[in-house]
Structure 1
Amino acid sequence: MAIFHMNFKNISAGDGRSAVASASYRSGEVLYRDADEKNYEYPRVVKPETFIMLPENAPEWASDRERLWNEVEAKENKANSRYAKEFNIALPVELSDEEQRELLTNYIQETFVDSGMVADVAIHRDHPENPHAHVMLTNRPFNADGTWGQKAKTEYILDENGNKTRTEQGNIRQRKVWLVDWDKPGKVDEWRGQWAQVVNQYFELKKMPDRISEKTLKEQGIELPATKHVGVNNQAEERAEYNELVKEQRSNLSRQENVDEKIVAERRLIALKEHMSFKEKGQVAKLGKELQTYIEIDQLRDKQRM
């Protein structure tokens, strides 16, 4: 069954993150970071399929993963700088590896690269039932000569005669004008909708019945699970525990962007079960049966690390 899963995040200096370290983790490559003069290495059992897609005007060195993200960190050198956008995306299991790559690269090219972004792509196939990709995107365009361009410029607010205006305090009035629309409100929703459209068009071309949607649970009319009344009988403790689980699931569901994402978790859960005890497997199975909903996979990972 085809599923929709696509989450966007920022890789920011203000969060203590590194673009170089992030690229190393996703690609499985050893990358040297100039800022702290150290190598970053995150070995993987299954080597990811990686490649970099360049926009027009990008210099040749941008195809070098290590240099690219070191250059980004050098350019975006403020304490709160955002180095990159990233998104992770589920690939349709109904398609072959080659078809998945073709679908993904066409989408990235038309949606991001053609607008001026560099896309650093890592396709992970650690588990056949959970093919997905991590894509890091640059936040700054390139000039025609291959140098870094501006993300925004300052524009003075003029009067009807073309003269600069001032505030009551005497300061010249000005505003920030973005030169790219990558951060405008609603842009992420637009990108998510474009992915659903591209996948569905591909399915239709292949005469496949599957379809996906970027719509939220609420938009799809999915009901949240109800809690049970906590009585005074001997099942009160069990019901209280159940209610806590339901509340947790409600919180998880409110963060999910599509009902199909529960299938992503189920697929990942299969891969994690081999690391769980018999008791843990039983608890997870019981919870899934009772709630018929998504189990937050990150919480399971956290538990595994403890």
Structure 2
Amino acid sequence: MTMVHIDTKAISRKAGQSAVACAAYRAGDVLDDAKYGKTHDYSKKRGVMSSDIVLPFALKALGVSVDRETLWNTAEAAENRSDSRVAREWLINLPHELSEEERHTLAINFAQKLCDDMDVIADVCIHRPVMKLPFDPEAKPSSKRLREGEQNPDPRNFHAHIMVTTRAPIAGPNKTLVFDPKLKIPFEWSNKKRLAHELPSSMKEIKRIREMWVDTANVVLAKKKLPLMDARSYKDQGLDQQPTIKMGVEATAMERRGITTEKGDTNRAIIARNKLVAEKNHQQGVEHEQRTKSLRSGLAWTTQTNTRLPILIGDTKQRADSTQRRISDTISGITWATERCQKIPNGINTVNNRIKSADNGINWATDHTESLPKLIRDTEQRIKDTESNLEWAAKRCENLPKRAAHSKQWVTANAKRAKDSESIAQSIHQDITERAKPAPSPFDDDYQRAFLERKRRANREIANAVSARDQAKFGDESNHHALRETLMVMAHRLLTRNNPKFCLRPGYNDNPADYPDKFDYRQVESLNRFADALGVDSNPSDFRAEQKRVADLFTPEVMENHANAIDIILKRQRERKAYEEATSAFTQFIERLDKTRATKNNELQKRLGRSDISRMTAETQTVSSYLKIITDEMNKEETPWQSQELAAKHIKETLRLTAVQLQLSYEGLKTLDSVESAQKHIKALEMSLSDITTKCSVEFTESDFKRIHDGLTVLNKPIEIEIKSSYSSPSLRF
């Protein structure tokens, strides 16, 4: 039977405990404690196999997520009393017969049941026994080696620490985590309060959770065909076994160091007593088995003696039963045949109906099959129309900068025309008003009719002028609105360039071919330079306002000066393909040059030795000529600017690696096997260093110079570098 161990204890401020500190220790993590202003660093703790945060399903459904530091700082902040219980821990022993993955899954499943049952959040940390090296009196004392008389822990002691909150979690604004400030979960209530709410006592609740753990573990143990757990005590199981007492941390540590304790003596006496009882029970079981075997042998002899009488009685009864079964079967067959004959007409009608239904289905399928070619032709025509629309959209995007400039000029010209039309309308209105003044004799009907006719003609001219002005204005606004929408889309793409939804994940070295619709690492770097040049705020407090501001920055002059960045924003896949085509020749050139350099490095290394120091020294001897060939290729007029940019990065990375190799080579001189070999390496390194610092010193950074100087301190020979270079850096653009 698999051992059952589950224990719980409260984490309380009254005992001087902190939930953040306890979580950091159990997870082997580094957590900042906001309440006490401390940083708890247990990152060097050994034996932590995994650590996970488990949320209730109700909280997961709301999309809430939380990390360990935020969880326990929030739990601490929810408590105001100086003696509050800020968390509770459940300690369970995991079956050592299971694999590491199975133990992890079992612990997570039990924690999920706790979360859903008690409405809490759980922090699950699985520990393994930390085994130390054997005691060695001549070795230097270490925490990784046993002391004299000390013993290693039980190698089967795989266990999980499950810390849970004492308050129910609630989803706050923006899917943040908050805790119920009014009540703790019912498990933390006193027995008096639980009784008032018709709840069982705390001890019964603990037994219920113990049974829940045993049921959860037995499901996995049964699948693996392993001995199951039993939540009952030895007494309830009817076993004459006495449970051992809890040792505690201090007594366990003393026993492992070989110091005898009272609790240890008590447990050893209990184990010895249980062993004697088990041996006695085993002996009694053997004797009982022998008596049972003897009784069975006697019973078999008695049965064999009277074997004929039961056989005859059995044969007679069997024949009678067989005759009765045959009569019953015959009657049942006649009844079944009669019923089938009565159902034959109904079956014929059913078959006829099914035949008619099948004919109707065939006719329907025939009609739809005749119309199928037409549907296929319509679909093909729609696909062709869609392709032409896509080509039209691509051409429109290519001419976007020119159209933007043209639209701006058009808007300016139309605004001027509208202003001129308005001034003309005003002058016409003023002129008509002067001309439409009534004559001194207003009672003359002819004069009044002429006046009204002139007034109507003036009003028509004014209306026509205003209509022409509005038409020009609204036409300009429509074009301007379309352009504005395009610029807003471009601004949105620039602001979200570092969002994992739109770019490759940093640090994962993703392949752009697997995510063609996302910005690759090079494009993100180019857009970052473009954003810095425009002064874009990458983390704005008001995203919409910053998007409008960036859209206003996309003037025709900016788009012309940063054409490559505009191409990346509008056509990332086409720009990536063009870049790869432009740099393919240079990439092949670098591959051929690397092979040639590798051959030369192998020849130089054979003269020095087979160690890593010899390999790095040989590589420093060829770096100057290697960079000279790359620079000459880069400075050719026919070399595309993309290849020049790639070459500049390659040169910078090669020089950084060379500085590291020089430092490690000087520091590794003391590891060589002879003085002659060390002198040979020193001479080669001095030649390499002289050549590199003479030709490439301008390209080195301050950190590169520091690495070389640190390496030279091994020889107590500081270097003085003359700043001059025969290589010119390429001009970069994006």
TM category, shorter: 0.5 to 0.7
Aligned equivalent of 1:39: 39
- Relative contact order, CA 8 A, sep 6+: which one is greater? 1
Aligned match of 2:80: 77
Quick one: distance in 2 between partners of 1:100 and 1:223? Answer: 31
User: Do the aligned partners of residues 177 and 222 (structure 1) sit closer, same or farther apart at CA in structure 2, a change above 3 Å counting?
Assistant: closer
- Partners of 2:111 and 2:230 in 1: how far apart? 18
1:290 CA displacement: 7.5
Shift in alpha-carbon separation, 1:292–1:53, aligned structure 2, 3 A: same
In the other structure, the counterpart of 2:129 is: 126
Distance 1:36 1:199, change over 3 A: same
- The residue correspondences of 1:91-170 to structure 2 (distance < 5 A) are 91-113=94-116, 115-127=118-130, 128-145=155-172, 146-150=177-181, 152=183
- Length-normalised TM-score, structure 1: 0.62
- Secondary structure, aligned partner of 2:236: coil
- Percent identity, aligned pairs only? 32
Partner of 2:89: 86
Of residues 211, 215, 228, the one that matches 2:232 is 215
CA 1:98/1:291 → structure 2, altered by over 3 Å: closer, same or farther? closer
252, 268, 285: which is aligned to 1:288? 268
Distance 2:26 2:49 in 1: 8
Q: What SS does the aligned partner of 1:40 have?
A: strand
| C-alpha distance in 1 between matches for 2:101 and 2:114 | 20
CA distance in 1, matches of 2:157, 2:254: 12
Q: What TM-score, normalized by structure 2, do the two folds share?
A: 0.28
Give the length in aligned residue pairs.
232
State the match for 1:192 in structure 2. 210
Query: Structure 1 178/140 Cα, relative in aligned 2: closer, same or farther at 3 Å?
Result: farther
Structure 1: which amino acid aligns with 2:257?
M
Name whichever structure is richer in helix by fraction.
2
Q: Comparing both structures, which one devotes a greater share of its residues to strand?
A: 1
Aligned counterpart for 2:59 among listed residues 46, 50, 57: 57
Please state how far the C-alpha of 1:141 moved relative to its aligned partner. Answer: 1.2
In structure 2, do the counterparts of structure 1 residues 82 and 280 end up closer, same or farther at CA, with 3 Å as the change threshold?
A: closer
Aligned letter for 2:170? Answer: N
Q: Which amino acid aligns with 2:180?
A: G
How far the C-alpha of 1:40 sits from its partner, in A, is 1.5
Q: What is residue 24 of structure 2 aligned with on the other side?
A: 24
AA matched with 1:45 = R
Q: Secondary structure at the match of 1:17?
A: coil
* Code of the aligned partner of 2:11: I
Retained in 2: the 8 A contact 1:61–1:67?
no
Counterpart selection for 2:257 from 244, 264, 276: 276
Distance of 2:194 and 2:109 partners within structure 1: 33
Gaps of 5+ in 1: 154-174, 226-249, 257-261, 295-306
Tell me, yes or no, if the aligned pair for 1:62 and 1:68 is still in contact at 8 Å.
no
C-alpha deviation, 1:292, in angstroms: 2.3
Please list the CA deviations of residues 107-142 of structure 1 after superposition, one character each: whole Å capped at 9, or x if unmatched.
221232464211101000134421110000011112
Partner secondary structure for residue 143 of structure 1:
strand
- Shift of the 38–220 alpha-carbon distance from structure 1 to 2, 3 Å rule, reads same
Contact 2:48 2:126 in 1 (8 A): no
Q: Distance in 1 between matches of 2:114 and 2:266?
A: 42
Partner Cα distance (1:53, 1:178) in 2: 31
Structure with larger Rg: 2
Unaligned runs of 5+ in 2: 131-154, 185-192, 275-734
Q: Following the alignment from structure 1 to structure 2, what is the Cα–Cα distance between the partners of residues 137 and 110?
A: 12
1:203 matched to 2:205? The reply is no
> Does the Cα contact within 8 Å between 2:29 and 2:41 map onto a contact in 1?
yes
Contact kept in structure 1, 2:214 and 2:229, CA below 8 Å: yes
- Is the 1:53–1:63 contact (alpha carbons within 8 Å) kept by the matching residues of 2? no
Q: Distance in 1 between matches of 2:111 and 2:238?
A: 30
| Alpha-carbon distance in 2 for matches of 1:182, 1:138 | 21
User: Aligned letter for 2:70?
Assistant: R
1:148-180 deviations in whole A, cap 9, x for unaligned?
A: 225639xxxxxxxxxxxxxxxxxxxxx89999x
Q: Distance in 2 between matches of 1:60 and 1:75?
A: 22
Gap change, CA 1:14 and 1:69, over 3 Å in 2: same
Following TM superposition, by how much is the alpha carbon of 1:198 offset from its aligned partner in structure 2, in angstroms?
Answer: 1.5
Q: What is the Cα-based RMSD across aligned positions, in Å?
A: 4.0
